Structure 1
Amino acid sequence: MTLDLRFNKLRPQDISDLAASLSSCINLLTLALDLGYNKIGEQNLTGLDSALFNSINLTNLTLDLRGNKIGEEGALSLGFALGQYSNLQTLTLCLQLNQIGNEGTTNLCFGLVSCSNLSDLTINLDQNEIRLSGATDLGTTFANLTKLQKLKLSLSQNQIGDRGIKSLCTGLANCKNLLDLTLGIQQNLVSHQGVLDLGLHLADCIQLQNLTLQLKEVQHIEGPSVLGINCLYNLGSSLMKCEHLHILTLSLSYRDINKVSKQKLVTKLYKTKRLLRTIINYQG
């Protein structure tokens, strides 16, 4: 079932009616529900998540709530709903721009960790005021999802910092079955040292085959970060310890590395004779 209701200015009664309809779908296996940009608050989400409790047979769920205001309490309600889905294998959560914060991230992780059969997870938490403790909880949660093979996590424009990156990647390093990882940490108060720590810990993802790192302007409050070829090469050298890594994609800013240095970096990385493909994209 697919429902696209974004930009519809849904009223509380509309959400209640939707919840009532969904509550009867007890045998639903796949659900894609887009409620983006509807000014849904904490209380409205509670009724919707209660309805989703009945769909405990779901194996594939896509839930888009971007641009609402679910906050900490809404994230708690969502976490409780997710905790019911023991059969869930594929999950996509679009939660950017929702004022979730650290506490809301913790609430979300409380339910997410119960999805023990997840193999494919996409979660977007851009612009949610997440700091160190939220990043730490995410890392701990991922480490407990032992069947996870594919993860796409976007945390851009938060404030997780170097310690947050280290905690997050320490958790990811324990995802021993992870094959495919996309990690977006643009504009997060991350220094060169944070980027290097990222490489050191991700090197422990021993089964990783495909890695995409979105690193454009990893700092933002203290000014744009210019990573440069030395930092990026040291990052790449650490990642080469992933014995099965074949594809490495780095998304950068023109300020991070110019075209000449880009070619030098690619040439150096190819000398490892392990990578089949190295892609460096510019994001502006």
Structure 2
Amino acid sequence: MPQQENQQQKGSSSTFNKILWIIVGVLVAYNIKLYLNRSSSVHFEINGNEITMQNDALYLKDSDLQTLSKKLSENPQTTKLNAQLSINQFSSFRDFFASLEKLNNLNELQLSLGNNPLVNEQDQAKSLSQALSKLTKLHTLSLGLDSIFNNESREIILKGLSKISGLTQLRVSLINSDLSGDGLKSLYPLIELRNLKSLELLLVGSKLKEEEMKHLQTILHKLPKLNKLNINLYANKIQIDGAITLSGGLFQQKQLKEFGIDLYFNNITANGTESLMGVVGSMENLTSLNLGLEFNYITNEGGIQVGNALNKLKNLKDLSVNAATKNFGWDGYEAIVSAIEKLPPLNNLELIIGINKCGSPGAELLKKALFKHDRLKSLKINFLENYIGDAGATFIAEGIQYQKNLQQLSVNMNFNSLSDRGALELARAVKNAKSPKVVDLRVSQNQITDKGIKDIFVLLEQALPKIDQLEVELLNTALTNATRDDIELKYGKIDKLQIRLNTIPPSNWE
């Protein structure tokens, strides 16, 4: 009996061991799978001498960054690198920077590092500065430093960057970086780039006020004469005095051929607009202009100043004007659109001038401008909340159909008191337009019925063969659930057609 019990115990032990090994094997396999799946989230593509790393917002860790660093080390011949590494969990880029500095043949670099929880920030700034200073063949650089590095560390990085003597194109993004007080002094090393021809500064939400504009003025004064300049000051508070100070710096860059300024929500008012437009009007060489003046309380007087500046620009080919603001009036609107009509023929036009209640007469004025600029390649119209009605929609539709070379069309007529008739005229314009390849049509928040929406899609369906991509937005109309379901069933699986539909209770239209 004891011998039999021992044999049973051995058998049980053997069975237990087998089960244990099976469990261990399953766990090992599972962990390997987890590791492989995690590793597969690191994205990179190598095409000849170009490397692309699209790893924004994947919440990767330092161990994942080692894989990307290794790829740089294995490809020292690389001439173009696009490394998007922002919004992750990287605490240290040192190994990556060490690999980066060995790319002696690098000509173009896009490097985005923002929104990572860095440790030993200043040491890492020194590593990046050293890496940049050794990229002697670099001529194009886009550097994203959003929400990381303090002023001292940022200055260290830009000092290294300033040693790249052949750099001609530079983009620096400092979104949500605190540049208040003397923060903009950290950008002073940029003035050492004597061969720079193109500069883009993204200073969005950087706590800039009137006083800080003195530093930006100094930088603009001391930079070499640029061909292209874009400054994005979205969501700061520079106000009137800041706009005047900024204009003083821009006066030293009157030779510009391409200029963009975004001052959304900076409260520069008509006085600040007058100063800014006085400088813009003196930029006689401009071929491209992007004015972002939305919600700055520029009033009619500011609109007239914009029109006066446009009247002086005889070489423009590309124009974007954003003057949407609730206290805008007819005189300002008329000044801008009439000035556009008088410009030499444009290639590209974007007009964002909503929330002005310009009505049907405003749409008719735009139609005349579109008849003058009848060879546009790109046309973007945002007339949000202008209450142009069906008559106004017809005017704009006529202007669209008059275009001969249109490749891209974007029309936003949300909140414009349209019924079926006006919406159908816009859809018919899309159908009859000569050659648009990309179309974005928005007619939300208008009282368009089931029948009207069905007829709209019949017209758009006829336009689909010539269009590569069509987006249609019909939100908060008088659409019923049944018709919405029919449309989504019929058109929802067409790859190049993107539809945004919803329904609201009929009482909303009573």
TM-score over 0.5 for the pair: yes
Residue matched to 2:472? 213
Q: Distance in 1 between matches of 2:304 and 2:315?
A: 20
AA partner of residue 436 (structure 2): L
CA RMSD in angstroms, aligned pairs only: 2.4
Residue matched to 1:261? none
Confirm whether residue 3 of structure 1 aligns to residue 261 of structure 2. Answer: yes
Taking the TM superposition and a 5 Å limit, the aligned residue runs for 1:1-284 are: 1-205=259-463, 206-219=465-478, 225-226=480-481, 227-233=483-489, 236=491, 247-253=496-502
1:155 Cα deviation after fit: 1.1
User: Contact 1:57–1:87 (CA<8 Å) still a contact in 2?
Assistant: no
User: Contact 1:72–1:107 (CA<8 Å) still a contact in 2?
Assistant: no
Q: Distance in 1 between matches of 2:419 and 2:500?
A: 19
Deviations 1:6-33 (A, max 9, x none): 2222233322222211111111011111
AA partner of residue 173 (structure 1): K
Q: Distance in 1 between matches of 2:357 and 2:373?
A: 24
Q: Distance in 2 between matches of 1:58 and 1:91?
A: 10
AA partner of residue 228 (structure 1): R
Q: Distance in 2 between matches of 1:51 and 1:146?
A: 28
AA partner of residue 330 (structure 2): E
3-state SS of 1:51 partner: helix
Deviations 1:249-269 (A, max 9, x none): 01123779xxxxxxxxxxxxx
In structure 2, the CA distance between the partners of 1:64 and 1:225, relative to structure 1 (3 Å rule), is farther
In structure 2, the CA distance between the partners of 1:246 and 1:86, relative to structure 1 (3 Å rule), is farther
User: Contact 2:306–2:336 (CA<8 Å) still a contact in 1?
Assistant: no
Residues 200-209 or 152-161, more deviating: 200-209
1:49 Cα deviation after fit: 0.7
AA partner of residue 81 (structure 1): A
1:232 Cα deviation after fit: 4.1
Q: Distance in 2 between matches of 1:177 and 1:151?
A: 10
AA partner of residue 252 (structure 1): L
Q: Distance in 1 between matches of 2:420 and 2:455?
A: 8
In structure 2, the CA distance between the partners of 1:73 and 1:38, relative to structure 1 (3 Å rule), is same
1:111 Cα deviation after fit: 1.4
User: Contact 2:346–2:376 (CA<8 Å) still a contact in 1?
Assistant: yes
Residues 56-65 or 136-145, more deviating: 56-65
AA partner of residue 450 (structure 2): H
1:152 Cα deviation after fit: 1.0
In structure 2, the CA distance between the partners of 1:199 and 1:65, relative to structure 1 (3 Å rule), is same
3-state SS of 2:406 partner: coil
Residues 3-12 or 114-123, more deviating: 3-12
Residue matched to 1:271? none
User: Contact 2:480–2:503 (CA<8 Å) still a contact in 1?
Assistant: no
AA partner of residue 282 (structure 2): S
User: Contact 2:353–2:382 (CA<8 Å) still a contact in 1?
Assistant: yes
3-state SS of 1:173 partner: helix
Unaligned runs of 5+ in 2: 1-258, 506-510
Q: Distance in 1 between matches of 2:311 and 2:263?
A: 20
1:225 Cα deviation after fit: 4.3
Residues 190-199 or 110-119, more deviating: 110-119
AA partner of residue 151 (structure 1): L
In structure 2, the CA distance between the partners of 1:246 and 1:84, relative to structure 1 (3 Å rule), is farther
3-state SS of 1:113 partner: helix
Runs of at least 4 residues of structure 1 off by over 6 A? none
1:188 Cα deviation after fit: 0.6
Aligned residues: 245
1:180 Cα deviation after fit: 1.2
Unaligned runs of 5+ in 1: 257-284
Deviations 1:225-256 (A, max 9, x none): 4342224446x39xx9xxxx850101123779
Q: Distance in 2 between matches of 1:34 and 1:79?
A: 16
Q: Distance in 1 between matches of 2:429 and 2:497?
A: 20
Q: TM-score, normalised by structure 1?
A: 0.78
1:72 Cα deviation after fit: 3.1
AA partner of residue 212 (structure 1): E
Residues 184-193 or 82-91, more deviating: 82-91
Q: Distance in 2 between matches of 1:112 and 1:56?
A: 17
Q: Distance in 2 between matches of 1:73 and 1:21?
A: 22
1:151 Cα deviation after fit: 0.5
AA partner of residue 175 (structure 1): A
Q: TM-score, normalised by structure 2?
A: 0.45
Bigger radius of gyration: 2
1:91 Cα deviation after fit: 1.9
